[in-house]
Amino acid sequence: MTNRARVLIDCIDQKGLVYKISKVFFEHDLNIVSNQEFVDKESSHFFMRSVVTGEFCAKTLKEDILNAIGRDAAVKVAEPRKKNIILLATKESHALGDILIRYLDGELDANIVGVIANRDNLKSLVERFNIPFVCISADGLSREEHEELVLKELEKYDFDYMVLAKYMRILTPNFVSKYQGRIINIHHSFLPAFIGANPYKQAYERGVKIIGATAHFVTDDLDEGPIIAQDVIRVNHRYDWRDMQRAGRDVEKIVLSRALKLVLEDRVFVINNKTVVF
């Protein structure tokens, strides 16, 4: 029996949904600790995230909700547990280091099961936190050959999400398809502006007055997956692109950690190429 859960509902909008769902909670003698709902008017799609407490069977609760609102609905009853994440990195330490420190301080509601990198620059940093570190060099290998080695290594781990903590390699469609909706990336730009390589140099050449970072789910379209979190900082004409890059590292790590927290708490719903974030 369960005594606390997050109930996530995604379905076509219809009259009386909140009433029907709340009635099921009442019939199971559950207390609603928090509740948020949203209707995307363009698609007529309904989203709801509820936290409930009480003794109940998660499977039965899910079935009763489906019976009440329609079998086409997507319903998830997520029992409280720390999700497992694996981190992919290259050589930049700021995003990875920030996640590791939050993990050590107990701020990150997750288990970090390992770090995989294509360089060994961050090995000593990771091992200070007693987390397994594996370096799979890409030297002399095609992208596909390297990815096959990474995929083989990933099979050794049980994880819910993969976090690209400044993993500066473009993933192939084959790789993405194996972990669809489970790969989170931090892009050093306020998307959709300045997609691709060296966005700070692109921003400098454009003369922007703000720079930012975007955390998003990875899809086959480079830097165009559903956006989870974004933020910006101000710059001016005195900044060259390297100054922008240095300043941007702070916002990158904050945005990535914020996005990761939202995902771990089951606050993010994906609709087409957008997100609903509670």
The CATH number covering residue 192 comes to: 3.40.50.170
Tokens 């694996």 correspond to what residue? Answer: 86
Of 217, 216, 254, the C-alpha closest to 232 is 254
Where is the domain boundary, 78, 96, 122? 78
Q: 102 burial class (0-12, 13-18, 19+ CB within 10 angstroms)?
A: middle
List the structure tokens of 47.
């989203």
Question: What is residue 190's predicted lDDT score, i.e. its pLDDT?
Answer: 61
Whether residues 69 and 91 share a domain: the answer is: no
Strands across the sheet containing 133-135? 133-135, 110-117, 83-89, 161-164, 183-187, 210-217, 227-234
Residues 65 and 126 in one domain: no
d(Cα 119, Cα 136) in Å, to the nearest integer? 7
Are residue 249 and residue 144 in the same domain, yes or no?
yes
- Residues 46, 180: one domain? no
**pLDDT by 10s per residue, the chain, length 278:** 669 999 999 999 999 999 999 999 999 999 999 999 999 999 999 999 999 999 999 999 999 999 999 999 999 999 888 999 999 999 999 999 999 999 999 999 899 999 999 999 999 999 999 999 999 999 999 999 999 999 999 999 999 999 999 998 989 999 999 999 999 999 876 655 666 667 767 766 777 788 888 999 999 887 789 999 999 988 888 888 788 778 888 899 999 999 999 999 999 999 989 999 99
Query: Do 53 and 35 touch, CB atoms closer than 8 A?
Result: no
Expressed as residue numbers, the domain containing 74 is 2-78
Q: In this structure, are residues 99 and 81 in contact, taking their beta carbons and an 8 Å threshold?
A: no
3-state secondary structure of 170: coil
Helix (H) or strand (E) holding 262: helix 241-264
Does residue 91 sit in the same domain as residue 59? no
Provide the domain count of the chain.
2
Q: Write the CB contacts of 21 (distance below 8 Å, at least 6 apart in sequence).
A: 7, 9, 48, 50, 65, 68, 69
The CATH number that applies at residue 74 is: 3.30.70.260
Exactly one of 29, 109, 220, 223 is catalytic; which is it?
223
**Which residue bears the tokens 């936290």?**
51
Contact at 8 Å (CB) between 49 and 266? yes
- Based on the residue annotation, tell me whether 223 is a catalytic residue of this protein: yes
Say what the pLDDT of residue 197 is. 64
Residue 222: its pLDDT value, please?
Answer: 76
